[in-house]
Chains A and B, each alone.
Chain A
Amino acid sequence: MDITLKVNGTPHAVDVDPRMSLLDLLRERLGLIGAKKGCDHGQCGACTVLIDGRRANACLALAVAVDGSEVTTVEGLAKGDDLHPLQAAFIEHDAFQCGYCTPGQLCSAVAMLGEPGPSAVTDDLALDPELTPEEIRERMSGNLCRCGAYVNIVKAIAEAAP
């Protein structure tokens, strides 16, 4: 099936099998290997990208179903040699070890910082809470890090938060 996508600002027209995931399209067809295939079941977050500005598991999205969308991957976060503030904060705080989960952590955190409303750990649902470490941990629970770099990931996100 013919679909069109804008990925990191670049338009693409591709012919895909309906079975192809957005993740496989990015990695195998468009050569964008930043988004990682961890579990391929939506449980680890390594494949997290932004679809029309919202974070999503690219492994669970069929490419045909996101026809016409704008996708941002980790490759699209920096502006040339200028790192995104979150990328800089991850380096500053040593927020990774092996790095496999990092593209997903970064995309997830970028979108998370723009997500309004309460989370499961917010006491008063009527208020938009401050982004405490507890809030960051809850909001980032869809991104696993097998190296256990969570402590520094939370610090990096807290520093980059507006």
Chain B
Amino acid sequence: MKRFEYARAGSPSDAVRRFRPGTMYLGGGTNLVDLMRLGVAEPDLLVDVSRLPLDVIEPVGDRLRVGAAVRNTDLAADPLVRTRYAMLARAVLDGASGQVRNMATVAGNLLQRTRCAYFQDVSRPCNKRRPGSGCPAIEGDHGNLAVLGASDACVATHPSDMAVALAALDAEVHVTGPGGDRIIPMPGLHRLPGDEPERDTVLEPGDLITAVELPAPPPGASTYRKVRERASFAFALVSIAASLDVGSDGVVSGCRIALGSVAHVPWRAERAERLLIGGPATGAAFLEAAEAELDQARPLPRNAYKLPLARNLIVATLEELAP
């Protein structure tokens, strides 16, 4: 591991003040410390923000404000999250292990890096890690990489479960930084790779996430489902956060769908949502919407299996949520 300096921030503004080129903020460290050990992340200065008083979950009117340093365990165990935001609790519980969830923070979960094998191996080229060096995944091992929104430069996926639920919930990410405070609506925090795959998010240098605010939950039933290669402690092949509200006339009045592990971002399936709202809540309609969404996909030879998987997951999940 490369040498670095360590400092503990006393407040969010103190953290931002300490920021200079080469600085990284340290949350739970479950991804960052590993990346430092692998030589993928080489900060000169770690500013520890894990002990800032940003570890509170509090209702604000009909909304819920979740501090950036809230541990994943505490988020999933919170009574309001469990009862009002079930898809979020499920997504968090589907991620990682008990140990990792005890350490990992909300902001760190959002800002974790891709688990693409080439990104994590400093002996290999990777446009995300070393811009311009190439992407061996396109010709190589891309079995769990992106089928939607990828570019010729990068086919990485964002690995978070929690972020998928936050995207479906229209969560707002509160940020402070050298340029002041701002609010970024999900799923707009993350960006598609384009020709700048080294940028995972729209955050600017020195920006610090302070909270995530959840609007009132969408009406109707909601859930999170994750398909993976083993039953626990594995990243998704495809996951879905979805809500469905159906009127007594059988017409869909509200629908949210976000997909995980299919893109560089938590993928909000807006095309499918638009097709479904105002139409019948039937299996045929769900299938049509899923296929319309996935028409945009550009799979690679070894990840094309994700398309029927995603299609079936969308249909099965909506059927489960339909009254």
Q: How far is the CB of B113 from chain A (nearest CB, A)?
A: 14
Q: Are A42 and B99 closer than 8 Å at their CB atoms? A: yes
**A18 and B46 contacting across the interface, CB-CB below 8 Å:** yes
A121-140: contact bitstring with B at CB < 8 Å (1 yes, 0 no)? 01001100000000001111
Q: Are B34 and A42 in contact (CB under 8 A)?
A: yes
Bound: A140/B36 CA distance, A: 27
Selected from B3, B82, B103, the residue in CB contact (under 8 A) with A60 is: B103
Which of B76, B82, B97, B103 has its CB near the most chain A CB atoms (within 10 A)? B97
Within 8 A of B (CB), among A90-119: 108, 111-112, 115-119
Distance A66 CA – B99 CA, assembled complex (angstroms)? 15
Whether B82 lies near A54 (C-beta < 8 A) is no
Q: Please count how many residues in chain B sit with their CB below 8 Å of the partner chain's CB atoms.
A: 36
Task: Identify whether the interface residues of A are mostly helix, strand, loop, or mixed.
Answer: loop
User: How far is A65 from B50 in the complex, measured between Cα atoms in Å?
Assistant: 8
Q: Which of B87-95, B198-206, B281-289 contacts A (4 or more CB under 8 A)?
A: B87-95
Separation of A48 and B98 alpha carbons in the complex (Å): 10
Is A87 part of the contact surface with B, judged by Cβ < 8 Å?
no
In the complex, whether A33 has a CB less than 8 A from a CB of chain B is no
Most buried by A among B86, B98, B231: B98
Alpha-carbon gap, A26 to B46, bound state (A): 22
Chain B CB within 8 A of A79 CB: no
- Across the interface, B232 reaches (CB within 8 A) one of A48, A56, A141, namely A141
A139 with B98: CB separation less than 8 A: yes
Q: How distant is A129 from chain B, measured CB to nearest CB, in Å?
A: 12
**In the bound complex, CA of A158 to CA of B93 (Å):** 21
Out of A42, A55, A137, name the residue touching B30 (CB < 8 Å).
A42
Q: Is B33 an interface residue (CB 8 A)?
A: yes
> Is the beta-carbon distance between B33 and A21 smaller than 8 angstroms?
yes
B102 within 8 A of A: yes
Of A108, A116, A138, most B-chain CB atoms within 10 Å: A138
Residue of B nearest to A139 (CB): B98
Q: Decide if B6 touches A41 in the complex (CB within 8 Å).
A: no
Given A62-B33, A126-B83, A142-B97, A120:B232 Cβ within 8 A: yes
Please state if A115 and B90 are interface contacts (CB–CB under 8 Å).
Answer: no
In contact, A56 and B34 (Cβ under 8 angstroms): no
Q: A45-B97, A142-B99 are in contact. List 19 more A-B contacts (CB 8 A).
A: A19-B36, A41-B37, A42-B100, A45-B99, A54-B102, A55-B102, A57-B103, A60-B30, A60-B34, A60-B100, A60-B103, A61-B29, A62-B33, A62-B46, A108-B99, A115-B77, A117-B73, A118-B89, A125-B90
3 A-B pairs with the lowest CB-CB distances in the bound complex, closest first: A142-B97, A117-B77, A141-B232
Cβ contacts A to B, 30 pairs, < 8 Å = A18-B3, A19-B4, A40-B37, A54-B73, A57-B30, A57-B99, A60-B28, A60-B30, A60-B100, A61-B33, A62-B33, A65-B26, A65-B29, A65-B48, A116-B77, A117-B73, A118-B76, A118-B89, A119-B93, A120-B93, A125-B86, A125-B89, A126-B82, A137-B232, A138-B231, A141-B232, A142-B96, A142-B97, A142-B98, A142-B100
